[in-house]
């Protein structure tokens, strides 16, 4: 027997057309379209988090290390992961940033940030700003503040 609720839970349903109470036609999107849609959603979430991080860095005070620590503590930057980016340049840029920040655990990360030189911390801040703009561009926006 056809179970509409189970079918909806197991697939991403684009459209359900009821022919009669006993039959339903479920029109699902092809797998490649679902993957593209999910990646788009991940990138949009990243764009939002990166935009908040950039605004926080721009409005922050103190040393570059203080700004990075505050940005990490007060924005959702830590919720972004490499799987949120498509394979390629954006992911590589993100990994370069997190590699410099010692992204293993929060405690380790904060020690790495506070031990950074001013120059290195400024470079990380610039990389975060550049990544934010690159993600906005990938989403077809002029800037992440749009």
DSSP string, the chain: ---HHHHHHHS-EEEEEEEETTEEEEEEPPHHHHHHHHHHHHHHHHHHHHHHHHHHHHH--S-HHHHHHHHHHHSSGGG--GGGS-TTHHHHHHHHHHHHHTTT-HHHHHHHHHHS-HHHHHHHHHHHHHHHHHHHHHTT-S-TT-
pLDDT of residue 64: 95
Residue 27 inside a domain? The answer is: no
At 17-62, the pLDDT tens digits run 444 445 444 444 444 444 567 888 989 999 999 999 999 999 999 9
Residue 22 inside a domain? The answer is: no
pLDDT of residue 100: 85
Residue 109 inside a domain? The answer is: yes
Residue 59 inside a domain? The answer is: yes
State which residues form the domain around 112. Answer: 39-138
Residue 83 inside a domain? The answer is: yes
Which residue would you say has higher pLDDT here, 11 or 119? 119
Residue 61 inside a domain? The answer is: yes
pLDDT of residue 131: 96
Predicted TM-score (pTM) of this structure: 0.70
Number of structural domains (the chain) is 1
Residue 77 inside a domain? The answer is: yes
Residue 17 inside a domain? The answer is: no
At 77-128, the pLDDT tens digits run 888 988 899 999 999 999 999 888 876 555 555 678 888 999 999 999 999 9
In this structure, what CATH number is given to the domain that contains residue 77?
A: 1.20.120
């Amino acid at each position: 027997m056809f179970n509409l609720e189970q079918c909806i839970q197991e697939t991403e349903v684009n459209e359900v057309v009821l022919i009669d109470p006993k039959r339903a036609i479920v029109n699902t999107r092809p797998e490649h379209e679902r993957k593209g849609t999910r990646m788009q959603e991940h990138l949009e979430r990243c764009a939002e988090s990166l935009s908040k991080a950039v605004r926080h860095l721009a409005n922050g005070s103190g040393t570059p290390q203080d700004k990075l620590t505050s940005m990490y503590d007060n924005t959702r930057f830590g919720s972004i992961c490499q799987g949120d980016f498509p394979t390629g340049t954006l992911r590589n840029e993100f990994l370069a940033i997190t590699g410099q920040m010692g992204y293993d655990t929060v405690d380790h990360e904060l020690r790495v940030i506070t031990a950074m030189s001013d120059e290195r911390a400024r470079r990380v801040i610039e990389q975060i700003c550049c990544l934010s703009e690159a993600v906005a561009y990938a989403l077809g926006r002029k800037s992440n503040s749009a």
